[in-house]
Amino acid sequence: MHPHLPHAGRRLPLSTYRLQLGPGFGFADAEAALPYLDALGVTDLYLSPVLQAAPGSTHGYDVVDHARVSDVMGGREGLERLAAAAHARGMGVVVDVVPNHMAVPTPAWHNRALWSVLKHGPRSPYARWFDVDLDEDPDADPAGGLLMPVLGARIGTVLASGELTLDHVVVPGEETEGEQPVLRYYDHVLPVRPETEHLPLAELVGRQHYRLAYWRVADEELNYRRFFDVGTLAAVRVEDPEVFDATHALLLELFEAGVVDAFRIDHPDGLADPRGYLRRLHEATGGAWVAAEKILEGDEDLPDDWPVAGTTGYDAAWRLHALQVDPAGSAALARLQAELTDEPAALSAVVDAAKRQVVSTSLYAEIHRLTTLLAEICHDDVRLRDHTFRSLEDCVVELVVAFHRYRAYVVPGEPVTAEAERTLREAAAVARARLEPDRHDTLDVVLDLLLGAEVGSAGRRGEERRAELVVRFQQTCGAVTAKGVEDTAYYRWTHLVSLTEVGGDPGRFGVGPDELHAFAQRTALSWPATMTAGTTHDTKRGEDVRSRIGALSVHAEEWVALVHRLREATADLRPADLDGTTENRVWQTLAGTWTPAGPIEPERLSEYLLKAAREQKSWTTWTASDTAREEAMTAYAVALTSHPAVVEGFTAWVAHVTPTVRRSVLATKALQLTVPGVADVYQGTEVTGTSLVDPDNRRPVDLPGLAERLARLDGGRAPADLAEEKLALTAAALRLRRRHPGAFVGPDARYEPLPTTTGHAVAFVRSEGDAPRAVTVAARLAEAATRGTHEATVVLPDPGEGHVWRSVLTGTTHAGGARTLGELLGSWPVALLEAATAPQVRTEEEP
C-alpha cells in the first residue's frame, strides 16, 4: 500500500466540491444541492468547518465549542441528514478541521473553555488548553495574567471614564449558578475571579487571571500564541494528548459513526508538532484520507513522513496559472510597474522590507517572546551569559526575515533532517551577512540552539526551555512568512498581480510544459491522492480573475499602451497623492474583473481595493488608516468604471483578449481536473466568475440556477457563452473521472506526458496500470490557428484493441498516433479524450 493513500476500508475521494457553510447556507441547503452536484460528477462534499463558531461567524474558523455541531447550520441532526443523503448517492463527506486555534469571542462566555480559564486561571480544567503561560500556583498573584487587549483606550483612562463596570448576569451555560459578577466593557463581558468581586474596581481589575489592556498593547506584549497576528484567535495546545482528545472527540465520533469520511486540516504549520498531530489523527481514524493545508514555497516538498494524502492544492494552482503566463510579457509589465510605483525592482527586496515591517509591528510580541526565551536560556548558563538581549533580538529578527519558507521541521529530541538543517543554515548565512561582526558569535549560539545542538555547558541540550525555543521559532517563522510575504509583500508587488497568490512564486514569470510535466510526475509518484485546486476560500483572486489578468502577459505592449492612454484621459480624476502601487493594482483589478457585461459592482471593487491597500501597509493600515486617502482612492477607482474613455477602452480590450482569456480559463480548468490528485471545485467555479479575496469569494452561489443550466446543456443545448462552456467542460471532466476512477487516483493511477511538436500545447495520458483511459490536450499562450500551431501534432497512445479515442466535448473519434491540434481541438482550446469502444462498421454481405 502506498504510504500516502488511505488505508483499506477508508474512503478515497475522487473529486470534491467545496461548500462554504454559514448562517445563510446550512446543511439543509447543502442537502438540496446534492442532485446537482451528483449530476455535475462530484464524488465528495467538502464542507467548511462544521463545529460551533463565534456568534455571527461567516466562515467557521473561529470555533468556540468542539463538542457541538453548529446550531446555525442545522446542528448535528442536520449534518447527519446531509451525510445520509450524500451517502445514499454514493457521495462522501470531507470536513474542514481547525486544530490550531479557537475564537476569543464577544462576549467571552461563548467560548466555555476560555471563560473557565479567565475565571479560574490555573484551577480551570481547561488551563492546559491554550498556548499561554499561567502560574502553576493557583493562589499566586495573577498580576500580568492572560492579556485581553479589548479596550479602546488605556486602562487608566477607561477606569476614569466609568466605561468599565461591575455587573451581575446569568451566564449562558451556567444558569444553575444564578447571577454572577462580571466585568462589562460595552459588548465585552468577562468573568470575575471568585472572591474578588467585593474589591474596589481598580483593585479588582488587577486581581483577575487576565489583564485588561488597550488593544494596541497586543502587538508588543501579547502573552498567548495566536493565529498569525489575529488577537481574537487564540492558539490551542493540541500537542497535549488530553487537549487533542477533547477537541477532536466529536469529529472522531462522527467519523466512526460513518457521518464524516475524510478531513482537511487547516494550517498545520501553526502547531507545535505538525507531524505528531497528523500521526495522532492518522492513528485515531485508522488511516483516513487527510489533506493538509500546507503552503509550500517554491520547490519545497511536503515532508514525506507526514501521514497525509497531500496538500490542499495551492502548489498545483499556481503552476497551472503560470502555464498560461507568457514570459515574453515580463519586461513590458516590469517597466510599467517601475513607472507607476516606488517599489524596488527586485521582489526579494520587497519581501525583505515587508517582513521587517511586520516583525517590528504586528508580530513584535512574538519576536520579543522568542528573544526573552533565548535570554533566559543564556542567562542560566554561565558559558552563554554574555550574549545580551539586544544581540539575541538582532539575530532573531535577521533569521526570521531571511527564512524563506513557513518552517523547518526540527523536532526536539530527534536528529535534525538534512533538509531542515540546510534550510536553517541558509537563513543563517543570509543573516550573518546583514549582522555586525560582533553579533556573529551570538548568531552561532542561536543557530545551534535552534538545531537542538549542544551549546554552552555540556549536557544541557535536552532542557525543556531549549525544546520550547525550537518549537516557537518555527511557529513564528510561519506567522512572519504569512503576514510579511503573502499578506504584505504580495500586495506590494504589482508586476503581474495574478502571480501573487497563496503558495505562489511570483518571482517566476511563467512555467513551461516540461516543468508542469515534471511536477505532475513527481506528484503521481509521491502524492497520488493529494488535492488539486483552482480557487479556494483563501485565494486572493478567483481562477478566472487570474486568467484575465494573466492575459496581460500575452498582450503586454497593448496593455501598457492602454494604461498610458487611459491615465492621460483620466488625469483629472486621479488624486494627487494616489499611491503608485495602488494605482497599478487598480488597473490590473479592472482587467481581471471587467467582462463583456462590464465592470464589477462599485461596492465590491471599493471593498477589495480598501482591503488590499491596508494589507499593503505602505500608506494606510488596518490599525492606522488614512481615511481621507482611502476615500479618495476608492472614489477614483469607482469613477474610472463609468468614465467614457475607460468604458470604451476596456470594452475594446475585453473583445481583443477574449480568445486568450477563453483559452486560459478552459485550459486551466481542464488541467486542474485531470492532473494527478483529487480534483476540487470551489463553489461556483464550474462557471466563470469575478471573485476577489475573502470575503468577496464567499458570496452566495445560485446552485439551483446552475443546476438548470447544466440540465439544459445535458439536454443538447450548445453552450451560450464562456460560463456555460466552462460548466460543460467541468461536468465532462468530473464525469470522465467518475467513469475511470482508477486512472485518476489510487495505487494504479498513472500520468505520462505525450509528445507535441509545439510549446503552445500540453498533453498527457491518464492510465490505470498499463491501460490508457483518458487524454488531456490543452492549448496555451498562442492561438491554435496561428504560428503553425493549428498544424502542430500530438502523439496519442494506442487506446487498445477495439478502441478509439472519443472526445467527450465534441464526440469526434481519433485513432492513436500523430494527430494535429486542429483535428483534436476543433472549436475548443482543450480536448478531453476517452478510450471508447470503436464503432462497429457494418458491411453488406455478398449474395
**pLDDT at residue 845 greater than cutoff 70:** no
The answer to whether residues 239 and 276 touch, using CB atoms and an 8 Å cutoff, is: yes
* Residue 31 amino acid letter: E
Q: In whole angstroms, what separates CA 223 from the centre of its chain?
A: 26
| Cα separation, 531 vs 675, whole angstroms | 10
Maximal CA-CA distance, the chain: 115
- Look at residues 657, 649, 552, 483 and name the one whose alpha carbon lies nearest to residue 337: 552
Q: For the sheet containing 310-311, what is the strand order?
A: 310-311, 290-292, 262-265, 92-97, 44-47, 15-19, 678-682, 531-532
User: Helices marked H in 22-180 — which ranges?
Assistant: 27-32, 34-40, 75-88, 112-120, 155-161
How many other β-carbons are positioned within 10 Å of the β-carbon of residue 775?
Answer: 27
Backbone φ, ψ for residue 52 (5° rounding): -60, 125
Q: How confident is the model at residue 790 (pLDDT cuts 50, 70, 90)?
A: confident
Q: Mean pLDDT across the chain, nearest whole number?
A: 94
Domain 15-100+238-312 falls in which CATH fold? Answer: TIM Barrel (3.20.20)
pLDDT at 311: 98
CA torsion angle 479 483 487 488 (round to 10): -150
| Cα separation, 535 vs 681, whole angstroms | 7
CA torsion angle 798 802 808 812 (round to 10): 90
Domain limits, the chain: 15-100+238-312, 108-234, 347-472
Helix/strand/coil (H, E, C) string of 1-50? Answer: CCCCCCCCCCCCCCEEEEECCECCECHHHHHHCHHHHHHHCCCEEEECCC
Element (H, E) at 714: helix 703-714
- Arithmetic mean of pLDDT, 34-60: 97
Q: Which residue has the cell 456568534?
A: 55
Q: How confident is the model at residue 491 (pLDDT cuts 50, 70, 90)?
A: very high
DSSP calls for 518-580: HHHHHHHHH-TT-EE-S--TT-SB-HHHHHHHHHHHHTHHHHHHHHHHHHHHTTTTS-TT--H
**pLDDT at residue 221 greater than cutoff 90:** no
Pairing of strands 830-837, 771-779: antiparallel
Angle formed at CA 804 by CA 811 and CA 90, multiple of 5 degrees: 70
Query: Out of 3.30.1590.10, 3.20.20.190, 3.90.420.10, 3.40.50.2300, which CATH number does the structure's domain 108-234 have?
Result: 3.30.1590.10
> Which three three-digit cell numbers place residue 577?
497623492
**pLDDT at residue 133 greater than cutoff 80:** no
DSSP 8-state assignment for residue 816: S
Q: How confident is the model at residue 344 (pLDDT cuts 50, 70, 90)?
A: confident
702: three-class secondary structure by DSSP: coil
pLDDT at 456: 85
**pLDDT at residue 784 greater than cutoff 60:** no
Q: Which residue has the cell 463596570?
A: 165
Q: How confident is the model at residue 159 (pLDDT cuts 50, 70, 90)?
A: very high
Please state the pTM of the whole predicted model: 0.95
Are 15-100+238-312 and 108-234 equal in CATH topology?
Answer: no
Residues 6+ apart with CB under 8 A from 646: 566, 569, 570, 590, 640
- The number of residues making up the chain comes to 847
DSSP calls for 199-259: S-HHHHHHTSSEEEEEGGGHHHH--B-EETTEEEEEEB-TTSHHHHHHHHHHHHHHHHTTS
pLDDT at 783: 67
How many other β-carbons are positioned within 10 Å of the β-carbon of residue 579?
Answer: 22
CA torsion angle 189 195 197 199 (round to 10): -140
Q: Which residue has the cell 510597474?
A: 337
| Cα separation, 386 vs 160, whole angstroms | 44
pLDDT at 143: 52
Q: How confident is the model at residue 835 (pLDDT cuts 50, 70, 90)?
A: very high
Q: Which residue has the cell 471508447?
A: 836
| Cα separation, 569 vs 649, whole angstroms | 10
> Which three three-digit cell numbers place residue 260?
464524516
Q: How confident is the model at residue 543 (pLDDT cuts 50, 70, 90)?
A: very high
Residues 6+ apart with CB under 8 A from 282: 288, 290, 307, 308
**Beta-strand (E) ranges in 334-473?**
none
Pairing of strands 51-53, 813-814: unpaired
| Cα separation, 637 vs 617, whole angstroms | 19
The answer to whether residues 810 and 828 touch, using CB atoms and an 8 Å cutoff, is: yes
Q: How confident is the model at residue 696 (pLDDT cuts 50, 70, 90)?
A: very high
DSSP 8-state assignment for residue 457: S
CA atoms within 13 A on the CB side of 705: 8
846: three-class secondary structure by DSSP: coil
How many other β-carbons are positioned within 10 Å of the β-carbon of residue 623?
Answer: 13
Q: How confident is the model at residue 131 (pLDDT cuts 50, 70, 90)?
A: confident
β-bridge partners, 278: none
> Which three three-digit cell numbers place residue 796?
496519442
Residues 6+ apart with CB under 8 A from 246: 66, 129
pLDDT at 345: 86
Percentage, residues of the chain above pLDDT 70: 97
The answer to whether residues 67 and 123 touch, using CB atoms and an 8 Å cutoff, is: no
The answer to whether residues 92 and 108 touch, using CB atoms and an 8 Å cutoff, is: no
| Cα separation, 319 vs 675, whole angstroms | 12
| Cα separation, 531 vs 310, whole angstroms | 7
Angle formed at CA 49 by CA 43 and CA 54, multiple of 5 degrees: 160
Q: In whole angstroms, what separates CA 612 from the centre of its chain?
A: 16
pLDDT at 632: 98
- Tell me the per-residue pLDDT of 608-627, one tens digit each, with 9 for 90 and over: 999 999 999 999 999 999 99
- Tell me the per-residue pLDDT of 809-833, one tens digit each, with 9 for 90 and over: 999 999 999 999 999 999 999 999 9
Q: How confident is the model at residue 844 (pLDDT cuts 50, 70, 90)?
A: very low
